[in-house]
């Protein structure tokens, strides 16, 4: 199962492996206090896409298309496959910093992971 949570929310029991999926380290968070299994910078949106989107819900569908296109690069596909394998064998939690819980890269990554798991 794939879950998403804000890095600023307290960790819950049963979250499984915890992965930060933001390209920038979240403000005010100490690395030691986050309890991460990994920081997956390689599957985050490009700086150009992130800045263009600027968390504008009006741009959401176009942002999703652009991010999915960026994730189609072979090395990113490999990383997504590894993550999907992890999710098939146990719970994983994708952590994001955005205030917007519905329009962020973790939502897109969760959709992709669920598609990969269903298609197996």
Rounded to whole angstroms, the Cα distance separating 67 from 71 reads: 6
Question: Is 16 strand, coil or helix?
Answer: coil
Rounded to whole angstroms, the Cα distance separating 114 from 1 reads: 8
**Stated pTM of the model:** 0.92
Rounded to whole angstroms, the Cα distance separating 66 from 57 reads: 14
Q: What residue spans define the domains of the chain?
A: 2-118
pLDDT (tens digit per residue) in 5-59: 999 998 888 889 999 999 999 999 988 888 899 999 999 999 999 999 999 999 9
38-39, strands of its sheet edge to edge:
2-6, 92-96, 17-20, 38-39
pLDDT: which is higher, 119 or 71: 71
């Amino acid at each position: 199962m794939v879950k998403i949570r804000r890095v600023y929310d307290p960790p819950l029991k049963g979250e499984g492996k915890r992965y930060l999926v933001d390209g920038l380290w979240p403000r005010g968070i100490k690395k030691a206090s986050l309890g991460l299994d990994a920081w997956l910078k390689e599957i985050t949106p490009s700086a150009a896409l992130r800045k263009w989107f600027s968390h504008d819900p009006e741009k959401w569908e176009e942002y999703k298309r652009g991010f999915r296109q960026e994730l189609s690069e072979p090395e990113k596909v490999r990383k997504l496959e590894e993550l999907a394998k992890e999710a098939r064998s146990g719970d994983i939690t994708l952590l994001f910093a955005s205030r917007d819980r519905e329009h962020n890269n973790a939502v897109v990554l969760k959709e992709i992971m669920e598609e990969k798991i269903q298609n197996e």
